[in-house]
Structure 1
Amino acid sequence: MTAVPADAAVTDRLLDGLAASVRERGYRDTTVADIVRHARTSKRTFYEQFDSKDRCLIELLRRNNDDLIAAILAAVDTQADWRIQIRQSVDAYVEHIGARPAITLSWIREAPALGAAAQPLHRQAMVKLTDMLVTLTANPGFRRAGISPVPASTALILLGGIRELTALLVEDGGDVHEIAGPAVAAATALLGPH
Structure 2
Amino acid sequence: MPRGRHRLSRDDVRSAQRDKLIRGMADVVGEKGYAKATIADVLRRVHVSRETFYQQFADKEDCFLATLDRCADAMLALIAESTRGSVAVEPFDRFARGLTAYLTALADQWALTRTFFLECYAAGPVAQQRRFAAQERFALGLDAGFADHPGWRALPDRDFAARFLAAGLSSLVAAAVAADTPERLPDLEQPVIDLVRYLLSAGSAR
TM-score (norm 1): 0.85
Q: Which runs of 5+ in 1 are unaligned?
A: none
Q: Distance in 2 between matches of 1:180 and 1:172?
A: 18
Q: Choose the corresponding residue for 1:39, options 26, 42, 46.
A: 46
Counterpart for residue 103 of structure 1: 112
Matched, 1:75 2:82: yes
Q: Choose the corresponding residue for 1:127, options 109, 130, 136.
A: 136
Q: Distance in 1 between matches of 2:30 and 2:119?
A: 13
CA drift of 1:191 comes to 4.4
Counterpart for residue 167 of structure 1: 174
TM-score (norm 2): 0.80
Counterpart for residue 66 of structure 1: 73
Matched, 1:10 2:17: yes
Any conservation in 1 of the 2:68–2:127 contact (CA below 8 Å)? no
Any conservation in 2 of the 1:26–1:102 contact (CA below 8 Å)? no
Any conservation in 1 of the 2:103–2:189 contact (CA below 8 Å)? yes
Q: Deviations over 1:113-145 (max 9, x none)?
A: 333322441343123112111111124xx35xx
CA drift of 1:2 comes to 8.1
Identity across the alignment (%): 25
CA drift of 1:23 comes to 3.9
CA root-mean-square deviation: 2.4
Q: Superposed, which structure 2 residues align to 1:18-33 within 5 Å?
A: 18-33=25-40
- Shift in alpha-carbon separation, 1:123–1:163, aligned structure 2, 3 A: closer
CA drift of 1:149 comes to 8.0
**Matched residue SS, 1:5:** helix
**Matched residue SS, 1:60:** helix
CA drift of 1:36 comes to 0.6
Q: Deviations over 1:78-119 (max 9, x none)?
A: 432333222112102112211222322222222133333224
Q: Which runs of 5+ in 2 are unaligned?
A: 1-6
**Matched residue SS, 1:125:** helix
Q: Distance in 1 between matches of 2:32 and 2:122?
A: 18
Counterpart for residue 182 of structure 1: 191
Q: Choose the corresponding residue for 2:146, options 111, 115, 137.
A: 137
Q: Distance in 2 between matches of 1:46 and 1:2?
A: 19
Any conservation in 1 of the 2:152–2:199 contact (CA below 8 Å)? no
- Shift in alpha-carbon separation, 1:168–1:69, aligned structure 2, 3 A: same
- Shift in alpha-carbon separation, 1:92–1:46, aligned structure 2, 3 A: same
Any conservation in 1 of the 2:61–2:123 contact (CA below 8 Å)? yes
